[in-house]
Structure 1
């Protein structure tokens, strides 16, 4: 019997398992594929094992529903909240290990913030953007109230010749107001729209900052499951940013027990 917890960050939902003692011995990829399935399993946008790290306070071992691995922003925020609940984090600030390296985290009264990484600046694909924030993100700005189906559009980009082998996340962005955007995301590994994507909100926030020549500040990002804030500072090199933080709620939903013999 395996105890699990369910958390969500702006509708991005995750199964979390405390593997601090290394007692989980099953095939992780098969386990993830089985239990992330929404009709025959628990259902989630990913599964996270919390494990010991010799580099940080804890390690977040994250898997997409198809068993693949990448960095996950909202999953990281939920992992920080869960690790604090378990007592692996003794105060409000932490450092944790993820697939792309070390990240800082901080719990506030109502949110969880994590430090994000940007890789390789910004690539321009026609009028669109491609930004790596731990996961790859293709970004297209649409006109206000323009009707584009994110699932169909996302599949067109994700399975295009360039991206079909390794995949990419695909984002549609609408500008709502000054420093305020709305984002829809098709996620690789889930192969569907999700209610939120932390690395996607971050990438879109950075694209907006570049587009509007902003040197520092905060971008509010509306997603299907709520709101996220992206904090940033521009570097001297165009299209490159530092002091990047992803902030938003990370909520406990429920806990249960898995009988994996069935």
Structure 2
């Protein structure tokens, strides 16, 4: 059977979106998702997004990384599917309900309340998540934040100088993180501006990571390094992150539809 898809991206973090709300698709498996995501022999993407009908939300969003592993949250993908939806939406995800609305500066997503408990990240054993007493080849004392998925954040003098393509996979798969972890290296430029690079679990280096921007901003705020509203600049562009007095995170940024097409399911099954 032929299946329709929409190629989208949020600041270069790109997605293949399959809309299964009206056009049913066969069961998605990790192997099929990885083949579709392959940039040489498939369509190519950082994440595969499947939209499904939901009883208590406008729709459900499933998020599958390029390696075929399903994850809980993706801020950039949330902005993309709300841009596609064209109206404010409540979205069911594995991390819970998200609320988002299109606006003048893209899409604003209520990313919920961050979690900081060691067992919320989760870590393999108890420790202070504001400044963890661990390190890997010069990257030391990260903060850990769960914003629907787990992040470790390292504050460094120059994030561009960190060999994240080498250290990212080592940290992602360290036994300290039983569900693996997204690895963020951040540089504080001013009290309202952070520069950030992210190694995403299951996807590798990406041009932008919405949950990474949220986790990094909140970690910097908790350490007193920045104000409660900041611009987080990723290789693909900037996101605006605000952490309100109600403890909820608001993320604002653009999303873009690149093109539409179809593919033969049997080519990847």
What residue is the counterpart of 1:87 in the other structure?
Answer: none
What residue is the counterpart of 1:47 in the other structure?
Answer: 48
CA offsets, 1:182-217, max 9 Å, x none? 110001111x21101111000001011112276x74
Give the Cα–Cα distance (whole angstroms) in 1 for the partners of residues 143 and 39 of structure 2: 32
Give the Cα–Cα distance (whole angstroms) in 2 for the partners of residues 120 and 206 of structure 1: 10
| Divergent runs of 4+, >4 A | none
Q: Please tell me whether the aligned partners of residues 160 and 197 of structure 2 are also in contact (alpha carbons under 8 angstroms).
A: no
- Residue 233 of structure 1: which of 228, 244, 248 is its match? 244
Give the Cα–Cα distance (whole angstroms) in 1 for the partners of residues 231 and 161 of structure 2: 22
Q: Which moved more, 1:226-235 or 1:167-176?
A: 226-235
Q: Please tell me whether the aligned partners of residues 118 and 134 of structure 1 are also in contact (alpha carbons under 8 angstroms).
A: no
What residue is the counterpart of 2:250 in the other structure?
Answer: 245
- The offset of 1:156, in angstroms, is 2.6
CA offsets, 1:125-180, max 9 Å, x none? 133200001110000000147721111121231122312x4210000000111210
Q: Please tell me whether the aligned partners of residues 50 and 83 of structure 1 are also in contact (alpha carbons under 8 angstroms).
A: no
- The offset of 1:61, in angstroms, is 1.4
TM-score normalised per structure 1: 0.88
The count of corresponding residues between Structure 1 and Structure 2 is 246
Give the Cα–Cα distance (whole angstroms) in 1 for the partners of residues 159 and 104 of structure 2: 35
Give the Cα–Cα distance (whole angstroms) in 2 for the partners of residues 22 and 167 of structure 1: 33
Q: Please tell me whether the aligned partners of residues 152 and 182 of structure 2 are also in contact (alpha carbons under 8 angstroms).
A: yes
2:209 is the alignment partner of 1:197: yes
**3-state SS of 1:97 partner:** strand
What residue is the counterpart of 1:256 in the other structure?
Answer: 261
Give the Cα–Cα distance (whole angstroms) in 1 for the partners of residues 197 and 78 of structure 2: 20
Q: Please tell me whether the aligned partners of residues 88 and 102 of structure 2 are also in contact (alpha carbons under 8 angstroms).
A: yes
Q: Which moved more, 1:48-57 or 1:114-123?
A: 114-123
Q: Aligned-pair RMSD on alpha carbons?
A: 1.8
What residue is the counterpart of 1:81 in the other structure?
Answer: 83
Structure 2: tracts of 5 or more residues without a match: 118-128, 134-140
- The offset of 1:29, in angstroms, is 2.5
2:174 is the alignment partner of 1:160: yes
Give the Cα–Cα distance (whole angstroms) in 2 for the partners of residues 261 and 8 of structure 1: 25
2:27 is the alignment partner of 1:20: no
